[in-house]
Structure 1
Amino acid sequence: MGEEIPEDRSEGFGERLLGLLLDRARYLPPQLIAPLVAEEVGRVGGRDVSILLQDYAQELLVPLPGRKLHVSQPEPVIDSPAGRSFLRGEVVEVAQARGGVRMYLPLLDGSDQVGVMALTLDAVGEDDRRLLSRLAGLVADLLVTKNAYTDQFFQARRREPMSVSAEIQWTLLPPLSMSVPQVEVAGILEPAYRVAGDSFDYALNDNILHVALIDAMGHGLDAATMATVAIGAYRHARRVFIGLAEKYAFMDDAISRQFGPDHFVTAQLMHMNIATGEMELVNAGHPAPLLIRDGQVVRQLESATTLPVGFGGETPRIREHTLHRGDRLLYYTDGIIEEHIAGGELFGEERLIGCVNRLGEEPSQGVRADLRRLSRMLKNERGGRTSDDATLFMIEWRGGAADHLAVLD
């Protein structure tokens, strides 16, 4: 077992404890993450350790099975202590009837919430909170890194059978959320286990946020294959070119060459300067995004509509907009508004805008949580039906700078 670590929760003790995890992380097989974490928590007097991962539908936090882990029932993302910790990125503490405190610590990989680590302590002090929050950050990084080496985490998150097209799309996606001081983004795809042609992508390169939302025609593997080519071409162009027009042309050429003249992909492409709020937008046959200010929809960000990707359209016209601090943009695919509700009527943009405005009347819980609440509200309004791919992607612009984060106090 090596040298015994003294019962001390000072920062020096914490550095040694976290150092053990860092020293072993490079060689640690995925299945041994849980036992090592449980042992480290035990060194500070913790017990009943659970690692809860978000399911693909973003409705439940499901326990990861593993030696020395406490495996309980899944906890809902909405209205549970684990869910509050997950959505808000905060430590939540709940006093237990039999004594002790159950702590829920968000597993944050950068800004994307991986899940929650739960454990019980007899009593909680500031040293415990600091040490365990740092431990949770390391655990999140380990889970993300080791995820590429195993199916264990995928299997824990999967709550029902997944189609091959959905497997492809989930592999294609970037992290579902990102938050830096100047901007926050979050996305949701439905139906999570059958999605095919919808996808989104983003990257923050210096002060420019690049965003693409796409909807490939058709269903199943054909749509997933087109979406894969479209996103692959977009990423290649993003890493080579600068302008939106070049991105559109590169995607258009890739789709038309690979699939011929009868196939297409609708798209929204955007550049945003996260320091100034200035943005450029290209609309390739896609629903226009909604501009939300003070919780209410102000208008649609219309732009000259370019032909969908794959039709060999002319050079697109680029529309420029400038955001106010605190503004949100809501991008969506037509599966949101073209769903038929009771009586055969289309859901429509007016109902979507009404739901966004109702959400804005309540206190904000952050982009990630608000988008989850909106998705749930829309699904209830549709009577629980999601017959076509339906994607939501939200951006909140805050402006300012983040240089202070690179300066040591």
Structure 2
Amino acid sequence: MDEGDEPLGIEIDRSEGFGERLLGLLLDRAHELPPHLVAPLVAEEITHMGGRDVAILLQDYEQLALVPLPGRRLVAAAPQPIDGTPAGRAFLDAKVVEVPQPDGVRIYLPLLEGTDQVGVMAVTWDRVDDNDRRLLRRLAGLVADILVTKNSYTDIFTLARRRAPMSVASEIQWSLLPPLRMSVPQVELAGVLEPAYEVAGDSFDYALNDDVLHLAVIDAMGHGLDAAVMATAAIGAYRHARRAFVGLAEIYGYMDTVIAEQFSPEQFVTAQMMRLNVTTGRLDWVNAGHPPPLLIRDGAVVRQLTVETTLPVGFGGHDPVVTTLTLRPGDRLLCFTDGLIEEHSAGGDEFGLDQLIDNVFEVEQRRHGVRTTVRELSQALKRARGGITSDDATILLVEWRGGSTDHLAKMEPAAARPAKRTTQASKRPQRRPTGP
């Protein structure tokens, strides 16, 4: 039998079931669907599945609340706090949350695009079984993908997420950022920027290319639009060099040249560029005038990764120092900008590294996932500073786990059913079916 041929007597079942028809309809129409019709079509699908009262809740820029997406046939609910609500639990834990009600079950489904949480979809069901749950999970994943795709050419979803006016500099920075969370079995990361509606010079970037996670955290000097423009140039130079498959020293050199040629001699960008082999745990990094990251192991900060620093980007530094460290499975790396520790509290004292380490320890004891840890740490630090954020402050947390992901590229055998016998086929010897 040639490779790819079906065994005699076995026919792969390719018929369209109820779930495929519903998901296929949404997928088929998504290509040409105007953004404002996403909500009505999703609500229509839910109705055909037996549900009602559909709400799509998107995370706001401060990651404090889930705000309703307006749209025909969607429930216009009030913003839901992420802390202490069923919708917030579904969002933070990336798990389905079911709440019994007198008229049925209210189901909150995380909208995951990749592994970044876009928001939550809420629906009401009279009674829910495992078939409903499976179909709803897959529908929520498809809805998240459509929202992210359509967001590229509409303002509807972006405006829904805003709860305050945004500066021009912040517009630039948010459009520059990758998703705030990425997770694969080997590594997970999550970041947060403050103040969300006024951030200017801080930014971060990453890319997972085969077995290497590339990371950069930058802080462009100054405030406002000038800082945002310089940060844009720095991230653009970083991406350009990274995509040329050069080493960390060459990446630093290219970024340094771009900033030096485009801006005045007094302007600079502090930066941290890293490469983490997600299979072996080998970490290489260049520190260009940036605060050293913290290594967190077993819930506590075990060391500050202090090394000889290279001149900030734009000062014409040469031969940057590349440092290497091998992580252990479960290790976390906390990168941050100086606005986090140089801020002064309400009493006038500088917040400082010691208070940061104390807050990290307190939050880590709750053993949350990376996304929840970053969010809780950001809020704890904000409270400790008396709510003051006069400078940009960025947190990026990375957890390395190791292992392999090859199993994710393997499919289970397709479901098969006995084939209908034809007269011609029945005249020749039949082999016993080898499929299930």
The reply to whether TM is greater than 0.5 is yes
Query: Residue 54 of structure 1: which of 48, 56, 59 is its match?
Result: 59
The one-letter amino acid paired with 2:44 is E
TM-score (norm 1): 0.96
Q: Does 1:379 align with 2:382?
A: yes
The alpha carbon displacement at 1:281 in A equals 1.0
**Is contact 1:282–1:303 with CA below 8 Å preserved after alignment?**
no
CA distance in 2, matches of 1:312, 1:252: 6
The alpha carbon displacement at 1:361 in A equals 1.6
CA distance in 2, matches of 1:343, 1:146: 46
Query: Residue 219 of structure 1: which of 220, 223, 230 is its match?
Result: 223
**Is contact 2:346–2:388 with CA below 8 Å preserved after alignment?**
no
Q: Does 1:171 align with 2:170?
A: no
Deviation string for 1:364-386 (max 9, x for gaps)? 22100111011110001011111
CA distance in 2, matches of 1:365, 1:350: 22
CA distance in 2, matches of 1:211, 1:405: 24
CA distance in 1, matches of 2:92, 2:298: 21
Provide the secondary structure at the position in 2 that maps to 1:178: strand
**Is contact 1:267–1:309 with CA below 8 Å preserved after alignment?**
yes
CA distance in 2, matches of 1:307, 1:109: 38
The alpha carbon displacement at 1:325 in A equals 0.3
Query: Residue 94 of structure 2: which of 64, 74, 89 is its match?
Result: 89
CA distance in 1, matches of 2:113, 2:268: 35
**Number of residue pairs the alignment of both structures matches:** 398
After superposition, residues 152-191 of structure 1 pair within 5 angstroms as: 152-191=156-195
The alpha carbon displacement at 1:242 in A equals 2.5
TM-score (norm 2): 0.90
The one-letter amino acid paired with 2:228 is A
After superposition, residues 6-405 of structure 1 pair within 5 angstroms as: 12-96=17-101, 98-362=102-366, 364-405=367-408
CA distance in 2, matches of 1:85, 1:338: 35
Aligned residue for 1:6? none
CA distance in 1, matches of 2:83, 2:408: 31
CA distance in 1, matches of 2:394, 2:402: 26
The one-letter amino acid paired with 1:58 is Q
Q: Which portions of structure 1, spanning 4 or more consecutive aligned residues, are displaced by more than 6 angstroms?
A: none
CA distance in 1, matches of 2:293, 2:195: 21
Q: CA RMSD in A?
A: 1.0
Query: Gaps spanning 5+ residues in structure 2: where?
Result: 1-14, 413-436
The alpha carbon displacement at 1:213 in A equals 0.1
Q: Give the number of the structure whose alpha-carbon radius of gyration is greater.
A: 2
CA distance in 1, matches of 2:71, 2:164: 20
The alpha carbon displacement at 1:11 in A equals 8.7
Deviation string for 1:190-227 (max 9, x for gaps)? 00000000000000000000000000000000000000
Aligned residue for 1:7? none
CA distance in 1, matches of 2:109, 2:256: 44
CA distance in 2, matches of 1:101, 1:12: 25
CA distance in 1, matches of 2:404, 2:206: 20
Identity %, equivalent residues:
67
Provide the secondary structure at the position in 1 that maps to 2:17: helix
**Is contact 1:241–1:247 with CA below 8 Å preserved after alignment?**
no
